[in-house]
Amino acid sequence: MKKSQLTFPALLLVLTLFLSASWVTLSSSVSGDLISCLQSKSNNVTIISQLVFTPVNASFLPVWQVAVQNTRFLKPSTTRPSVIVTPVEETLIQTSLYCAKKHGYEIRIRSGGHDYEGLSYTADVPFVMLDFTNMRSIQVDVAKRTAWVEAGATLGELYYSISQETDTLYFPAGVCPTVGVGGYMGGGGYGNLLRKYGTAADNVVDVRFMDVDGNLLDRRSMGEDLFWAIRGGGASSFGIVLAWKLRLVPVPKKVTVFILNKTLEQGATEIFHKYQYVAPTIDRNLHIRTQVFAEYIGNTTKKTIRIMFEGIYQGTSDTLLPLLGKIFPELGVTREICEEVKMVQSTVVFWGLPSSTPTEILTNRSAIAKLNNKSKSDYVRTPIPIRGLRKIWRKLMENDGSALLMINPFGGRMDDFSETSIPYPHRAGVLLQILKTVNFNGQPSDATPTSLRRIAWLQSLDALLTPYVSNNPREAYSNYNDLDLGVGSANYEEASVWGERYWKKENFKKLIRIKAKVDPNNFFRRPQSIPVF
């Protein structure tokens, strides 16, 4: 037998192209029934052709790719939709829902945000992707201190829209302007204002929602149980959020921001140790986020830890400096590093850009780099001792430079809420939330030997942190979805492995009861969605 002349990489390329071509052929053939259904239910076939895409359309791949915010899913092996629907109004959503159910397709709902595990735009079954990119209007009512925001808008677009109407109102949501509003609210949502105003979901006052039968509901017509569930319990488990009505909160015309770095040689360990006690208990107007990196010292081969402290204070530096001077002088905040800016500018600063950057950048989805990472989350309820911090620092120094810890203090207003007030349970007693990330920069995929080593390192860090983070359950943030926690949902015992980490037992059981009432056949499902038993 003649020996094959194909090298392994070449063979892999041929196989990938073959599978890709096979997938396109299969998707095209199985999507015909759905397209026919959509056309038969529409009064305007031309509109259908402009808003619905299948793999045979030249625009299909660009439409799918443009809002894949985590680029590790931009690879041929990622399964894609059979059909993409980009509605401009609610009738096409109702039609898509009807046709998907009739012809046996699942639905995934994409509002265009980060989606750490790609669950809104990939699945291992035939599915329709509802892409809300065309439904992103924002209506701000300054007099009533509210805003209606469609599901396809981003936080950056929301912040910019508010800032065009007023400098003294804002919304207490996340730092990243590229996060999609639709999914963000459904998972709870936290940000720089959580210590003063709670989570984003705590400040949702109404909703426009489509249930599994295509009925349009608001808070009154859906009832308080379902309204409770979709604010932190993963709204896409229960139906389709079309728009959120948000309560805007007061902010001063100018807030104070500062950024400073401390290394081990500058006492970072001792400063961070005290930070754990101070940041969750200090004045609610002050939020100090930290980012922790391992890096080389100058041009040497010796590593150190650098901790970046990023502060935002709802007031002037004249008030902030005495406050920190009395309670946390070790941090070393001085007037020279403080800058007084509008609240919308603080979002730009926390995104890593100069405060002078035009705030229009918050609306430019293509101007800000996408993610390329794997992440995990934890909550800290007891300060980590210095010996524990040193273990963590040593583990970080073992990393190849791809790791980041991002740490946010809780306390303040978060302590005022019961852990059952909405499904988001991480309330009183939480000191810090930790996001642990490795990136795949410089790698063609997340499956190369280097990428796999980075993932293994992240898992070893996760194990190292076990004694220092919450337990029974070990809490995790559902918006930082992590399929490593498990995906089984055949029974409560199986689902509780991951469900109780996100929502705790009482909330998770209540979510399951509500799900059974509003979607008894479990049409709205995906990995780690609320199950029906």
Torsion sign (Cα): 520, 526, 527, 528: negative
DSSP H helix total and E strand total for the chain: 15, 18
Task: State how far the Cα of 360 lies from the Cα of 2, in Å rounded to an integer.
Answer: 62
Q: What is the pLDDT of residue 3?
A: 38
What contacts 24+ positions apart, CB below 8 Å, involve 481-489?
481/115, 481/116, 481/117, 481/119, 481/528, 482/116, 482/117, 482/375, 482/376, 482/377, 483/117, 483/527, 483/528, 484/376, 484/459, 485/528, 487/527, 487/528, 489/529, 489/531
| Contact in structure between 280 and 409 (CB atoms under 8 Å) | yes
pLDDT in tens, 345-393: 999 999 999 999 999 999 998 877 889 999 999 999 999 999 999 999 9
Calculate mean pLDDT across residues 291-308: 96
Task: State how far the Cα of 459 lies from the Cα of 414, in Å rounded to an integer.
Answer: 29
Calculate mean pLDDT across residues 414-422: 98
Which has the minimum average pLDDT: 47-56, 154-163, 217-226, 518-527?
Answer: 47-56
Structure tokens at 153: 């808008």
Torsion sign (Cα): 520, 524, 530, 533: positive
**Comparing 153 with 21, which gets the higher pLDDT?**
153
Q: Does 532 score more than 90 pLDDT?
A: yes
By DSSP bridging, strand 127-131 and strand 83-85 are parallel
DSSP 161-176: HHHTT-SSEE----S-
Structure tokens at 257: 């921001």
Share of the chain above pLDDT 70, in %: 94
Calculate mean pLDDT across residues 292-318: 97
Please tell me the pTM assigned to this model.
Answer: 0.92
Model confidence at 10, pLDDT cuts 50, 70, 90, reads very low
Model confidence at 43, pLDDT cuts 50, 70, 90, reads confident
Calculate mean pLDDT across residues 17-21: 37
pLDDT in tens, 72-99: 999 999 999 999 999 999 999 999 999 9
492 included as an active-site residue: no
Q: Does 8 score more than 50 pLDDT?
A: no
| Contact in structure between 259 and 247 (CB atoms under 8 Å) | no
Q: Does 29 score more than 80 pLDDT?
A: no
**Comparing 49 with 94, which gets the higher pLDDT?**
94
Task: State how far the Cα of 380 lies from the Cα of 357, in Å rounded to an integer.
Answer: 35
Model confidence at 44, pLDDT cuts 50, 70, 90, reads confident
Q: Which amino acid is at 150?
A: E
**Comparing 20 with 106, which gets the higher pLDDT?**
106
Q: CB neighbours (10 Å) of residue 9?
A: 8
* Catalytic residue of the set 105, 480, 492, 502: 480
Q: What is the pLDDT of residue 30?
A: 54
Burial class (CB in 10 A: 0-12, 13-18, 19+), 523: middle
Calculate mean pLDDT across residues 183-206: 97
Q: Does 236 score more than 50 pLDDT?
A: yes
Rounded to 10 deg, the angle between the 155-163 and 343-350 helix axes is 150
Q: What is the pLDDT of residue 424?
A: 98
